[in-house]
Structure 1
C-alpha cells in the first residue's frame, strides 16, 4: 500500500488500518505430529511379522520370508513418507515462526514538548474503545 501525502495525519503517521494477521504455526505442528505418528506406525508394520513369527514358535523361515516381504515393503514406504512429512512440518514451522517474529510492530520513542519519552506503536496513539 502506497502512502500518499494527502493521507498522512497531522501527527506524521500514515493512517492505521487493520494490523496484518500473523501466519499460523498450527499446520506445521500438525505435520510434525502426523510424521511422528506415521513413523511409529511404519516401524510397527515392520516389526509385527517378526513378533508373530516368534510368538508362533518359529517354523519354516522360507515361507515366512515370502509372507513378510509385503509387510516389509509397506512398512518401509509408510516410514519414508512419514519422515518426509516430518521434515516438511519442521521446515514449515520454522519458516512461519520467522515470519511471525518479523511481523512484530516496531515501537518508536516519542518525546512530547517538555515531557518524558513515551513509547508509541506505529500508526499513532491507540484509539479508545467504546
Structure 2
C-alpha cells in the first residue's frame, strides 16, 4: 500500500494552479474537466513527476469553509511539503510575495516555516536536520 493522492481544498482552481505551479514550482499532472469551472486537477513535484499527486480540490462543500477557517485561525497548516533548506525556500518565496505566518523555526529534529497559499490554507514547509 502506498499514498498516490493527497488533497488540498482551494477556493479557485485556476488561481490555485497558478500559485502552486508558478510560485511554488509544482507541475500540472492532470486536468480533466468535470463541469462548469471544475476539474480533476492535480500537480506533482517537478523532481518526482510520477510521485504523489496533490489534488487541487474545489472547496464548495459547506463543511469545508468552517473547517479551513478554524485551522487558519488556530495557525494549523493543512499539510506539509518537504524541502532541502527551509531558509532558502523561505527567502525565495518571500521574494516573490508569499506571506508567511511562521518564519523558519527550529523544532528540534526539523526546521519548519508556514505560509498562506492564497487559496484558503496554511501550508508548512519542513526540512530534517
Q: Same fold (TM over 0.5)?
A: no
User: What's the TM-score, normalizing by structure 1?
Assistant: 0.17
Structure with greater helix share of residues: 1
Q: Which has the higher contact order (CA 8 A, sep 6+)?
A: 1
Structure with greater strand share of residues: 2
